Amino acid sequence: MKKFSWPVRVYYEDTDAGGVVFHANYLKFFERARTEMLRAMGYEQDELIVSDGIIFAVRSVQVDYLKLARFNDQLQVSAEISLAKKASLTFEQDITRGDDVLCKGIIRIACLDALTMRPKAIPEKLLEQLK
């Protein structure tokens, strides 16, 4: 899978009193791009729970905040898999406004059994598409 990009507009609810995006909301933007990437590949996360008994959970996050995003900005949020293992994925993600990189993240996602919450292998068909 190549680099995926998803547009996000900054709403008032995403900002603090100064009109600047609250730091934790960048993680929400990253999440949206990862979800839309899976959706573009034909996978809905709620369907993966039913059909394969798996969920994806964030294991770790490393974020660098480089520049501010503000109310009403139009952003692009990328998602690219840099490492796909049997039961985990590592995403490299960027949030940009035009040519400006505002935020960079490395997010590690674990695949878990939906019932036991223990690590579970990513279904082979999905894993092959992600590589």
Domain ranges of the chain: 4-123
pLDDT value at 34 more than 70: yes
pLDDT value at 91 more than 80: yes
Average pLDDT rounded to a whole number, residues 41-66? 96
Please identify every residue annotated as catalytic: 16
What percentage of the chain carries pLDDT values higher than 70? 99
Question: Looking at domain 4-123, what is its CATH homologous superfamily?
Answer: Hotdog Thioesterase (3.10.129.10)
> In terms of C-beta distances under 8 Å and separation of at least 24 residues, what long-range contacts does 119-124 make, across chains too?
119/87, 119/88, 120/53, 120/54, 120/87, 121/86, 121/87, 122/54, 122/84, 122/86, 122/87, 122/89, 123/48, 123/52, 123/54
pTM of the model: 0.94
pLDDT value at 109 more than 90: yes
Whole-number average pLDDT of the chain: 96
The whole-number pLDDT of residue 1 equals 60
The whole-number pLDDT of residue 13 equals 96
